[in-house]
Amino acid sequence: MKIGAPRVVVITGGSAGLGRALALCYCAPGITLGLVGRNIERLESVASACRARGAEVVVGCLDVRDSASVQDWMLNFDSQYPIDLLIANAGVASTLSSQDDWEGVEKTSEVVDTNLYGALHTVLPAIERMRTRHAGQIAVVSSLAALRGMAISPAYCASKAALVAYCDSVRPILAQDRIGMSIVMPGFVRTAMSDVFPGNKPFMWSAEKAALHIKKRLAQGRVEIAFPFTLALGIKLLRLLPVAVADLILGRLSYLPRRMM
């Protein structure tokens, strides 16, 4: 089902990487963008680039883990500019550098609080307002890593898998209020986050290519946007194999931390 072109778009994690590429993809005359991020200098840089293309831009220098601040900003923004499309994109990565490394409570909490709760802090206020209007679209950026846990990034995989479960759960409810809910599952996208990933990065896309793909699929009303196709298919097939076999394959692909020599 095709979706009408959004005029008001909010993007979290909009100061860099995929979020920046999405902002530049959606900006145009007559478009209002709400860009949320933690780094005000980078946010203003993206905002300036979007304004140069004719968009109106409102920035929110926020940490998505701060539920009260995010809710206040979202509701205030929506009161002035009713949101057509929310892209909950903010996230952080975490990888184990070796078999001797470990994600303790502090690191695990940071990843889960940002990737899972940060997304929910953003999505829930938007849902509240969209349900009163019986209109709107929400896209939550997860990862292909959500489809199968990898030893190299336990907290990241768990947080992204939880987003998939949440979106699958609420999608039928929101559909009754004519609100679209999409889960976006990118593979490797060339960003600062992927630059520090120590494993193999097959079929990597540029951030610009990924943003254009997401925009096109959201306009088509797709509920699951998983790419690139070859990698997404491979991971889905991996889930059909015996667990021990899948673990062995992932280990051979450098997704198993090695003991330091």
Q: Which residues pair with 185 in a beta bridge?
A: 226
Phi and psi angles of residue 154, each rounded to the nearest 5 degrees, phi first:
-60, -50
Q: Is 166 a catalytic residue?
A: no
d(CA 181, CA 14): 20
CA dist., res. 122 & res. 124, Å (int): 6
Contact between residue 73 and residue 50 where contact means Cβ atoms under 8 Å apart: no
Cβ–Cβ under 8 Å, residues 163 and 115: yes
Annotated catalytic residue, options 81, 117, 156, 166: 156
- Exposed, middle or buried, 251 (CB in 10 Å: 0-12/13-18/19+)? middle
Other CB atoms within a 10 A radius of the CB of residue 87 amount to: 29
Q: How far apart are CA 62 and CA 75, in angstroms?
A: 14
List active site positions: 156
